[in-house]
Amino acid sequence: MDLPAPHEPDLPRTPPLRLRGTTFDASRPAVMAIVNRTSDSFFVDNRHADLGSALAALEAAVAAGADIVDVGGVRAGQEGEAVSAQQEMDRVLPFLETARSQFPGLVLSLDTWRAEVAREAGRIGLDLVNDTWAGHDPGLVGVAADIGAGVVCSHTGGLPPRTDPVGVTYPPEPGGVVVDVMRTLAEGAQRAERAGIPAERILVDPTLDFGKTTAHSLRLLRHTGDLAGLGYPILQALSRKDFVGESLDLPPEDRLEGTLAATAIAAWLGATVFRAHDVRATRRVVDMVAVIRGDRPPRLALRGA
């Protein structure tokens, strides 16, 4: 019988991300380690209210292969303590100062929605502002431009900071949540460019779980390749999230395997930056996917040679 000629899959690709003189792309995906300077993070193993604990986590993340370290001083969800801007700065600034001193070439990211916090962090040498709450503070993107940092554009379904989703709906299919996310991310990225941030320093993040049901998050994960069409590098923040937990009926401490499965899918579909609690495992997964996609060669090629 005649067999069809094989052909290489047409895989989604995005432009490179360039931060602190380093280029990240499909051949060099980036792992963004999470360091939470809080006592109430949803994942118990990433609670680093003590500065010494946070700095130990920093060193461990770098040793495990992190390219970016993202520090946050406020829990994302509405549960937990109220944190003022000054308290947030008291938590994140000493960490960033030490991190910059110990690891001069490391890309440092700040998870905040507050412009005043980002501006103070910029005096230390911040590389990326991770605006998880989709421009809630309209001055934040201008601060990122002023301090020479990149920015993460996110989607929360219109919810303000620290709001858990309840009764979330989007327009009916076709399109639905995917079109809403793509429109919001495109608008956010365009605002960032108008503010003076180069496209190579702008990331788009569909922000799974935020303002979304598990069904919404799973649909967005499957459509990662469509997000690549926006023309910006894609960040996927998947680590141990509720959409993984609800999919498998597991608590945060048991969501590693589900997270890694989601990570592999997102990497195959064109995401190149991955925010993760489990740096070493994520590093190996995204590097392996890059080899399978053909974006980079195996480190060794001895078998059968």
Q: What is the DSSP string of 82-108?
A: ---HHHHHHHHHHHHHHHHHH-TTSEE
Does residue 151 carry a pLDDT above 80?
Answer: yes
Structural domain containing residue 118: 28-293
pLDDT tens digits, 186-234 = 999 999 999 999 999 999 999 999 999 999 999 999 999 999 999 999 9
Asked if residue 11 belongs to a domain, the reply is no
Dihedral pair phi/psi, residue 143, rounded to 5°: -65, -45
Chain mean position to CA 82: 24
Question: Catalytic annotation on 212?
Answer: no
Asked if residue 15 belongs to a domain, the reply is no
Asked if residue 277 belongs to a domain, the reply is yes
What is the model's pTM?
Answer: 0.95
Asked if residue 19 belongs to a domain, the reply is no
Total domains, the chain: 1
Active-site residue, selected from the candidate residues 37, 47, 75, 241 = 241
Active-site residue, selected from the candidate residues 37, 275, 283, 293 = 275
Q: What is the CATH number of the domain that holds 82?
A: 3.20.20.20
Asked if residue 6 belongs to a domain, the reply is no
In the numeric block, which tokens belong to residue 28?
A: 């060099």
In the numeric block, which tokens belong to residue 303?
A: 């078998």
Asked if residue 4 belongs to a domain, the reply is no
In the numeric block, which tokens belong to residue 252?
A: 């945060």
Question: Catalytic annotation on 241?
Answer: yes
pLDDT tens digits, 113-149 = 999 999 999 999 999 999 999 999 999 999 999 999 9
Residue 285 pLDDT: 98
H-run or E-run covering 218? helix 214-222
Asked if residue 2 belongs to a domain, the reply is no
Asked if residue 1 belongs to a domain, the reply is no
